[in-house]
Amino acid sequence: MPTDKTYVYIHLGGEFVPAGLLTMHQDGREVVSAFAYGRRYLERRDAAPVDPLQLPLGQAEYHAGGVFRAFQDASPDGWGRHLLDRAAERDGVVPSEFDYLTVLNQEDRIGALAFGPDLNGPRPATPVWRPEEIPGDRLNLASMLRDVDAVLNHEALPSDQRRFLIRGSSVGGAQPKAAVEYEGRLWIAKFSRELEQWPTCRIELAAMRLAAQCGIRVPECRVVDVGGRDVFLAARFDRGGNPPMRHHFLSAMTLTGSDDMTDGTYGDIALAIRRFGVADHLKADLEELFRRMVFNILCNNWDDHLKNHGFLYDTSSGKWRLSPAYDIVPQPQRDGDDASRLTLGIGQQGRVATLDNALSRCADFDLDLPKAREIAQGMTALVRENWRGENEMAGVPEVKIRLIEEAYRFAIAGKE
């Protein structure tokens, strides 16, 4: 099998430092990976594990069938892979898993990991289909929207726009999105589609603001109009600080050790918080996870898989905290369903999306039943009283508000 190697870097103390060496073998779809930390990295007092579960700090060489989960988090998913596939097809190439991981620009990648062919610092890999220098300045939102349309329509991009393909996106999900700079700040942008009839961007904005009212930490969000099209912007929570820091990010899929983002429960995430969380924030993070589960029930956000929950590394404690919430998008009831269900398991009745089911395992979140019921009832009242106003303020048209009302039906009815 072909063998590829890359040094893995992590951003610590304001700079990238080499953490270890990753080796990947791929034959067709079969991938075998090996990783070992560097001796000098292990000697650092601030050394952070790439993944405390699958790749804990130590001198062993780790092996995996497939890609290590932490590196899956740093790789493009869905839309980002599609962009890189489009970039490579001109040369008749299908990118490998190693390509997906290593060709992205470091400034756009989510989290604190980076990759490079040697110890001279991180830089993108340059397979034959990715030139070292890509023409064109950094793209603005208007040009990105045009490129989204071109890619979705499978149209060729001019050479000075191919940057949009090569820059890829290490943001998860299949919806067109990218890491962008807008008005001097860093955001994750989600792009509406041409002639889109469902105002997803504005519905998500309303839901995020409503979640904040319910005691859930969310990044700053906004919707901007670009040539008559909506773009949803969420401030990047993996960047910030002085000096500028790149915060290490892992998905709940990684910290729970799941090999399938749809196979898990909120109890599994709670267990990961207990195992890897910051001691001083355990109670707060467990309660907030309960609130997120309840809110997903109240707004019927059934796309709540393990990659739509994340953690940020806390350098002072060497532990992990829940990241701000993201990708909360209410959905009307799916046709043919006799009851709403989330993707993740909730309680004793599995994925059935009711507050009674959420309360059935409240001890997983370090809550007794009276406290959990108080939280759930308070959130239900907040959502019932404010869902319409938040959608109106977000600019959702009245005809669509009448349709999205179905997503909030449990909160409106006040049922458990």
**Per-residue model confidence (pLDDT) at position 137:** 44
Distances in whole angstroms, Cα of residue 308 to Cα of each of 35, 144, 168, 189, 347: 26, 24, 19, 16, 19
* Closest alpha carbon to 300 in 325, 327, 332: 332
CA 332 to chain centroid, in Å, comes to 22
Please say whether the beta carbons of 190 and 203 come within 8 A. no
Level-2 CATH architecture, domain 141-235: 2-Layer Sandwich (3.30)
pLDDT of residue 166: 53
Q: What number does CATH give the domain 247-413?
A: 1.10.1070
pLDDT score at 147:
72
Residue 136: what pLDDT?
45
- Residue 108 is predicted with a pLDDT of 78
Q: What is the DSSP letter of 172?
A: -
Q: Which of 197, 186, 274, 268 is nearest to 230 (CA)?
A: 197
The two tokens of residue 11 are 């951003």
Beta carbons of 174 and 106 less than 8 angstroms apart: no
Q: What is the DSSP string of 183-247?
A: TTEEEEEEEPPTT--S-HHHHHHHHHHHHHHTT-----EEEEEETTEEEEEEE-SSEETTTTEE-
At 389 the pLDDT is 98
Residue 149 has a CB neighbour count (10 Å cut-off) of: 16
Kindly give the parts of the chain with pLDDT less than 50. Answer: 135-137
pTM beyond 0.85, yes or no: yes
Q: What are the DSSP calls for 38-84, one per residue?
A: -HHHHH-TT---SBTTTB-SSSSPEEEES--HHHHHTS--THHHHHH
Residue in the block written with tokens 């998905």: 251
Domain with CATH 3.30.200.120 in the chain: 141-235
Provide CATH 1.10.1070 ranges for the chain. Answer: 247-413
